[in-house]
Amino acid sequence: MMKTYILDANVTLRFLLADEPNQSPKAKELFALAESGRITLRLTHVAVAELVWVLTSFYDFSHADVGSKLRGLILHKGIEIAEGGLILDTLERFARVNADFPDCYAAALAAQGATPVTSYDRDFRKFPDVTYHSPDDILRAQ
């Protein structure tokens, strides 16, 4: 049985950025093991959110660059992620719409389940496939 490991964001960053002389080559080796099918690296939704935050805030990556880099990561052979389609949709929204990652995630989740979003954040109006209601709208309708 193949061994699975939960992949922390710091290892992923070293792999993606190749910026640390000691850790980055080891991270690359780890990903090569996963690509060869010898191990599986499980990426969590929380780790993806942390990667988005670190890449945009600390490394100044654009939303489009983050979307592209993390899409490639998720599609990397040997990487396992629950609801990969949902995360890919979230990253696509993040890359093209000026909204934060949690809102893009909620929008992707809402679109997937055809479930309206309630929020005080009007950014949800930027997603044509998402129905948005403010809490006030819902309370008035009751």
Number of independent structural domains in the chain: 1
119-130 residue pLDDT tens: 999 899 999 999
Per the domain annotation, does 116 fall within a domain? no
Q: DSSP secondary structure string, 25-82?
A: HHHHHHHHHHHTTSEEEEEPHHHHHHHHHHHHHTS---HHHHHHHHHHHHTSTTEE-T
Per the domain annotation, does 135 fall within a domain? no
Per the domain annotation, does 139 fall within a domain? no
Per the domain annotation, does 134 fall within a domain? no
Would you say residue 1 has pLDDT above 90?
no
Q: How far is CA 29 from CA 2, 33, 44, 77, in A?
A: 17, 6, 20, 14
Would you say residue 91 has pLDDT above 90?
yes
64-79 residue pLDDT tens: 999 999 999 999 999 9
pTM of the predicted structure, to 2 decimals: 0.92
- Give residue 45's domain range: 3-96
What's the CA gap between 141 and 32, in Å, rounded? 55
Per the domain annotation, does 39 fall within a domain? yes
Per the domain annotation, does 64 fall within a domain? yes
**Spatial strand order in the sheet of 39-43:** 3-7, 39-43, 79-80
